[in-house]
Amino acid sequence: MSSNLNDQLKNYLRSKRVKNPINITFTQKQKVDGKWIDDFQSEQNFKHFKNVLNRKVFGNGYKRFNKQLEMLVIREVSLNQRHHLHCIIELPLRYRFDEFSSLIKRIWRNTKFGYDQIDIEKPSSQLREDGWLDYIMKDFTKVSLSTSIDFENSSVLIH
């Protein structure tokens, strides 16, 4: 991807901020039932997670009124070839951070490719929010930012 297009995409993502954000890294099982994880499996696994989380938070309003948490989801493969996800997810105002973190961990671990290692942080400042966004958009471990964004599950891009 050209540098100019990549810069435009980064600027677009910076303009689509998740309100009341929490920063999350989800690790993924690399192989389940003889099937290796790939981008499609990762996207489907996260979709299941997102659906369960939104149903827990919004109940019937998730399907009936399309209420959902804002989130940005970016796939990444580390240098040792481990698939994982970097996310920014809205912390609902009616949840305490620790309560919501526990819910996220429980739901993620019950997905097909969900692995135990989950890092969750409530940014302490605007500088930390900006730093996390820059970090998850880094070029170092991506073939292309445009193919790393999980557009299907990044609800903040719809608004």
pLDDT in tens, 132-146: 999 999 877 677 888
Architecture per CATH, domain 19-157, reads as: 2-Layer Sandwich (3.30)
Helix (H) or strand (E) holding 132: helix 126-136
Q: Which of the two residues, 138 and 99, has the higher pLDDT score?
A: 99
| Domain edges within the chain | 19-157
**What is the Cα–Cα distance from 78 to 8, expressed in whole angstroms?**
24
Q: What is the sign, positive or negative, of the torsion defined by CA atoms of 65, 68, 70, 75?
A: negative
pLDDT digits (tens, 9 = 90+) for 29-73: 999 999 999 999 999 999 999 999 999 999 999 989 999 999 999
